[in-house]
A and B are shown apart, each in its own frame.
Chain A
Amino acid sequence: MLIENPLSTSPSAYPVLECFHIAGFALAIGMIALVDFRLLGFGFLDQSPAQIERAFRWWTLGGLITAVFSGLLIFSTDPDMYYLNRSFLLKMTLLAIAIIFNYTVHRQSPSGKLSKTSTRLIAGVSLLLWTSVIFGGIFIAVVAPGLG
């Protein structure tokens, strides 16, 4: 390799990136979960689910962008390992599905046009998808021992 990745040479870069990554995904996944809980009938009951979704929309996107970009930088420190890591590949697949689901089906669901059952189903699928992305991330280190 001709150029050394500066993120790989600094011992503090990786943990700092991880802090951004966790803060970002916590914001995004937590806010999406709050919309899901509202769809299930918990939380901000004075507002409609659509109002809650609109209120959190930009904060969710901000968290998602922070998580994705810090994630790309984390990936860049050891691309070979991640590329071959099954948990990472599963996580990326789930993440792609979760993002597409969030900005298509999930975004339409608070409109109130859907039946109660399908609204609840969408909320459940959303919660399950995003939680599985967190699990996929944690298991990267389990599948690749020694990564820490």
Chain B
Amino acid sequence: MLLSILIRLQNLAWFSNFRSSAYVYPVVLALHLTAVSWFGAMIVITDLRLLGWALPDTSPAEVIRRLRTGKRIGFLIAAACGFVLFAAKAEEYYYNAFFRTKMLLFAGVMIHALVFRRSVYANSAIAKDTANPIPRRAKLAAWLSLGLWLGILCAGRAIGYVAGKAGMHYR
């Protein structure tokens, strides 16, 4: 069911053409990585602040608030480019163990958000006064976030190393 949808997706004229283009594909990949850099740095800064290692004069709540829009835009660009890269070779990606790992880690990011959103990220009281100590729960959230996103980065790079069952249903 899912697989047949993916095969249809990759055989849409737009994605077929994209797949066989020698230059457009790497351009989208480079844009994906550029957005990943911008987005990744914002994630790291938030986590470093929660750990108390960066921007000590700004409260964590303020850092989170100031980066919120930028993070959303960065993630949207990275995800849009990522979707195009995926859609062009949807069937291959479906079988790719590292792509599956990456998607599982994204599910982990969503669970992380559900667990820590109220107590850490949407909690305006968190170390409001920069003199207050950062709660252990927030530090745990930061470490888990760093681990998850680093895992996503490595799994993403590893996708390209699995020899796919390429071209089985390419049109």
Min CB distance B155 to A, Å, is 9
Return the contact of B36 from the options A15, A26, A137 (Cβ within 8 A). Answer: A26
A56 and B54 CA atoms in complex are apart in Å by 8
Interface residues of B in 1-41 (CB under 8 A from A): 22-23, 26-27, 29-30, 33-34, 36-41
Point out the residues of chain A lying under 8 angstroms from B41, CB to CB. Answer: 26-27, 29-31, 33-34
The residue in A31, A47, A141 that gathers the most chain B C-beta atoms within 10 A of its C-beta is A31
Q: Which B residues are in CB contact (< 8 Å) with A55?
A: 54-55
Q: Is B48 a contact of A59 with CB atoms below 8 Å? A: yes
Contact residues in A for B161 (Cβ distance below 8 Å): 15, 148
> Are A47 and B158 within 8 A (Cβ)?
no
In the assembled complex, which residues on chain B have CB atoms less than 8 Å from the CB atom of A33? 37-38, 41
Q: A26-B40, A34-B41, A45-B66 are contacts. A138–B54 as well, Cβ < 8 Å?
A: no
Bound state CA distance, A55 and B153, in angstroms? 25
**Of A30, A56, A134, A135, which one neighbours B40 at CB under 8 angstroms?**
A30
Given known A-B contacts A26-B36, A59-B54, A15 and B158 have beta carbons under 8 A apart:
yes
State whether the Cβ of B62 lies closer than 8 Å to any Cβ in chain A: yes
Is the CB–CB distance between B70 and A43 below 8 Å? yes
Do A138 and B44 touch (CB < 8 A)? no
The interface residues of chain A lying within 8 Å CB-to-CB of B153 are 19, 22-23, 26
Cα A45 to Cα B66 with chains together (Å): 8
* Count of B interface residues, CB-CB < 8 Å: 34
Give the number of A-B contacts (CB < 8 Å). Answer: 87
Decide if B67 is an interface residue (CB 8 Å cutoff): yes
B123 at the interface (CB under 8 A from A): no
Contact of A142 among B22, B39, B55 (CB under 8 A): B22
Question: Is B134 part of the binding interface, using a Cβ–Cβ cutoff of 8 Å?
Answer: no
Residues of B55-88 contacting chain A, CB below 8 A: 55, 57-58, 62-63, 66-67, 70
Does any Cβ of A come within 8 Å of B109's Cβ?
no
Q: B45 near A: Cβ within 8 Å?
A: yes
Q: Assess the B40–A46 pair: CB atoms within 8 A.
A: no
Q: A26-B37, A29-B37, A59-B54 are in contact. Are A138 and B154 (CB under 8 A)?
A: no
Mark contacts of A1-30 with chain B using CB atoms, 8 A cut-off: 1 yes-contact digit, 0 otherwise. 000000000000001001100110111011
Could you tell me the distance in whole angstroms from the C-beta of A106 to the nearest C-beta in chain B?
16
CB-based contact B157/A134 at 8 Å:
no
Q: Which of B33, B57, B66, B70 contacts A138 (CB 8 A)?
A: B33
**Residues of A with C-beta under 8 A to B48:** 59
Contact A15 B37, beta carbon cutoff 8 Å: no
In the assembled complex, 21 residue pairs joining A and B whose CB atoms fall closer than 8 Å, in A order, are: A15-B157, A22-B33, A23-B153, A26-B33, A26-B36, A26-B40, A26-B41, A26-B153, A29-B37, A29-B38, A29-B41, A30-B40, A33-B38, A44-B58, A55-B55, A134-B33, A134-B34, A135-B27, A137-B30, A142-B26, A148-B160
